[in-house]
Amino acid sequence: MIRKSIALLTLALSASFASAAPITSYEFTGKDNYSAATIKAPIDYTNGVLVDFKLSYTGVFPKNAFTALWFNDSSASEGYKGPQIGLKANCDGKCTNDLFVRASGTTGEKYFTKSNIEPAVEGQFAHLYAYLYKSTETGNYDRMSAWYNPSNDDLKKLTDGHINLEFDSGFKSFDTIGFRTANLGSSVVSIGDLRINEVPEPGSVALMGLALAGLVAARRRRG
């Protein structure tokens, strides 16, 4: 009965989130590209947003190989300078911290501890998860919590990430999400199972965390 109740709660909460992008996959390689892929959302985000995706690669990274997911408004002339989460290898295939988040711009990243990823073999990937939201202090998006390979317990409290950023994005809503790449050389970066969902109400965060933890557990069992 308890398991059934949790399953129903998970289903109800998940159904209430406005999905802005279906499960989507991308591959990037070759020359630098500030707009490697741009997702024009069918809605204009105004509430908290959850982003969940898998990242893997083949080949050997050159120094500073880079692939990042960014958030911004379509009116911004340089959308890729919005908040970001992704991969930035700091050395030639021998890094210990490869995955990062940024508040904005092209510098000032914070790295996930022990996030060195190896060339992909079947079934192996890095799981990145981010929660972009607003504090009560401003009307702009100004907070981001992010996780590398989150556990069920991690997702029960979405405002306490492995990395937590405070900033002022300058936008109260946004309708564009994209990827920027650089220095990939002959390596191939794969983005899989990209899921983007809007959180309907700030007060739903705690319950949502419990629901998402249940979804992650179920997804791992199926895998």
Instruction: Give domain limits for the chain.
Output: 18-200
Q: Is the dihedral of CA 12, 14, 17, 18 positive or negative?
A: negative
Predicted local confidence at residue 3, as pLDDT: 38
pLDDT of residue 9: 30
The residue ranges of the chain whose pLDDT is under 50 are 1-21, 203
Instruction: Specify the pLDDT at position 34.
Output: 84
Structure token pair of residue 8: 């129903």
In this predicted structure, what is the pLDDT of residue 42?
67
What's the confidence (pLDDT) of residue 118? 67
- Return the pLDDT at 123: 55
- Kindly report, residue by residue over 62-85, the tens digit of the pLDDT: 778 899 999 998 888 899 999 999
Element (H, E) at 51: strand 49-58
pLDDT at 13: 36
- Select from 1.10.10.10, 3.40.50.300, 2.60.120.560, 1.20.1050.10 the CATH code of 18-200: 2.60.120.560
Please name the amino acid found at residue 148: Y
pLDDT of residue 22: 53
